Amino acid sequence: MSEENSGNPPRPEMPAKPLIHVAAGMILRADGALLLAERPADKPWSGWWELPGGKIEPGETVLQALARELDEELGIQITQATPWVTHVHEYPKNIVSLAFCRVTGWNGTPTGREGQTLAWVDPHAPITVGKLLPATEPPLRWLRLPDRYLITSIGGQQELPGYLARLDTALQQGIRLVQFREPAWQQRDGEQAVAAALQEVLRRCREHGARCLVNSAHPRDWWDRADGVHLRAADARLPEVAARLRRAAEDSNATGADAAAGAQAAPDNHAGANAAAAGPNSWPDRLLGMSAHDAADLTLARELGADFAVLGHVLDTPSHPGEPGMGWERYAELAGGAGLPVLAIGGQSEATLDEARRHGAHGIAGIRGLLGY
Ligand SMILES: Nc1nc2c([nH]c(=O)n2[C@@H]2O[C@H](COP(=O)(O)OP(=O)(O)OP(=O)(O)O)[C@@H](O)[C@H]2O)c(=O)[nH]1
């Protein structure tokens, strides 16, 4: 029904909020420490902490703007930086599109050239230097996500001992995120046989402080045994999946997990914008991953409050014979608009991690390449 004949009075036009494009640096030292800056007294939100950076000027690329800002603000010259996640946050008075970049190489020593206090912090520990700008909280959460994601492909009971030995090695070598995914085995031998393998994989992951998600091809009641779920794109569209995630979010809110996760009060003109813009964070005490193949899948991942998406396949891979990969250019285009961390999948291994990062990936996912085949 059109507004004219709906019987409702026409709504007054809302003035559009200004959209500000910003480049901000995740400046990471070799020991993993992250640089934060306190906004100085003469700027809006003074006293709040942020990632160094600033507005992108007309004609500048994100990396050019970042290089200029870090030189002006900190007196450092970037030698190594890659695009990461672009996060759009709506404040009551404006909308900021923050293009976060990983900065891992620079010349000079960061100095607060505009009077700002600087602090190197451990991004894996609670941030205690002060309040973070609301739009700066999601990237700090995302930074904690491991950058290598191993997906199982055990295949059957006979192969299990050999696989577990390889898994042990991968965990010893630093794998901290695993997805248990055995749809063919489950279909052939039944859930019981596969459930025992999940227990073995979970036990080993826990021994090494790694998290293990279960693929949504497996029974729903396994999700709670693991550290979260990895949704296939088709499963992410099922109403019962959305309902299940909503229930998990409600349970978690009821037990105050949000407060424990460090939600902060915002000043008046930031108030209320944070939770909505950071995504619903559907399952705060567990991880939610989703497989994506196109822009619509990535949008859905963001709407569901996924912690990350896996996008591919990028390069040709034995798991999709005869289906050419999307290639790095297309990957970069899609990942750049995703608004959440994206891992590249398809032909990935330690050897492709740098290339993946150059194209905006948070990291890589794989079956064989991350198991040392
Ligand atoms: N650099 C940076 N800006 C952020 C972050 N989070 C966040 O909401 N912002 C917002 O993005 C905008 C950054 O622009 P800016 O730093 O160039 O602007 P400014 O207020 O310092 O003023 P100015 O450029 O006129 O000196 C501000 O509105 C700031 O509140 C962050 O982590 N880093």
What is the structure's pLDDT at 12?
58
Q: How far, in Å, is the centroid of ligand 1 from the Cα of 121?
A: 20
Q: How far, in Å, is the centroid of ligand 1 from the Cα of 215?
A: 39
Locate the ligand 1 atom nearest the alpha carbon of residue 39 and give its number.
21
pLDDT (average), residues 295-302: 96
**Top-tier CATH class for 148-366:** alpha beta
301 pLDDT exceeds 80? yes
Q: Which residues of 25-59 are buried (b: 16+ CB within 10 A; e: fewer)?
A: bbbbeeeeebbbbbbeeeeebeebbbbbbbebeee
- The DSSP secondary structure of 262-278, one letter per residue, reads T-----GGGTTHHHHHT
- What is the architecture, at CATH level 2, of domain 19-143? Alpha-Beta Complex (3.90)
What is the structure's pLDDT at 373?
60
Q: In the structure, what pLDDT confidence band is assigned to residue 13 with cuts at 50, 70 and 90?
A: low
178 Cβ contact list (under 8 Å, min separation 6):
149, 150, 151, 152, 167, 201, 205, 210, 211, 212, 213
Q: Any idea which of 13-22, 135-144, 245-254, 325-334 has the lowest mean pLDDT?
A: 245-254
Locate the ligand 1 atom nearest the alpha carbon of residue 50 and give its number.
32
At 83-116, the pLDDT tens digits run: 999 999 999 889 999 999 999 999 999 999 988 9
Q: Any idea which of 127-141, 249-263, 336-350 has the lowest mean pLDDT?
A: 249-263
pLDDT (average), residues 253-274: 40
Locate the ligand 1 atom nearest the alpha carbon of residue 55 and give its number.
17
181 pLDDT exceeds 80? yes
Strand order through the sheet with 95-107 = 53-55, 19-27, 95-107, 77-90
5 pLDDT exceeds 70? no
Q: How far, in Å, is the centroid of ligand 1 from the Cα of 54?
A: 5
Residue nearest to atom 7 of ligand 1 (CA): 135
Q: In the structure, what pLDDT confidence band is assigned to residue 283 with cuts at 50, 70 and 90?
A: low
At 184-243, the pLDDT tens digits run: 999 999 999 999 999 999 999 999 999 999 999 999 989 889 999 999 999 999 998 888
Q: Is 169 exposed, middle or buried (0-12, 13-18, 19+ CB in 10 A)?
A: exposed
Q: How far, in Å, is the centroid of ligand 1 from the Cα of 317?
A: 42
Q: How far, in Å, is the centroid of ligand 1 from the Cα of 334?
A: 25
What is the structure's pLDDT at 250?
78
Locate the ligand 1 atom nearest the alpha carbon of residue 91 and give its number.
8
Does the interface predicted TM-score (ipTM) exceed 0.95?
A: no
Residue nearest to atom 1 of ligand 1 (CA): 53
Cβ–Cβ under 8 Å, residues 72 and 116: no
At 57-68, the pLDDT tens digits run: 999 999 999 999
**Whole-number CA gyration radius for the chain:** 22
At 35-74, the pLDDT tens digits run: 999 998 888 889 999 999 999 999 999 999 999 999 999 9
Q: Is 315 exposed, middle or buried (0-12, 13-18, 19+ CB in 10 A)?
A: buried
* Mean per-residue pLDDT of the chain: 88
What is the structure's pLDDT at 282?
56
Residues within a 6 A CB radius of ligand 1:
20, 22, 24, 43-45, 50-51, 53-55, 89, 96, 98, 133, 135-136
Domain boundaries, the chain: 19-143, 148-366
pLDDT (average), residues 154-163: 96
Q: How far, in Å, is the centroid of ligand 1 from the Cα of 22?
A: 7
Q: How far, in Å, is the centroid of ligand 1 from the Cα of 105?
A: 22
Locate the ligand 1 atom nearest the alpha carbon of residue 53 and give its number.
1
What is the structure's pLDDT at 279?
43
pTM for the full predicted model:
0.87
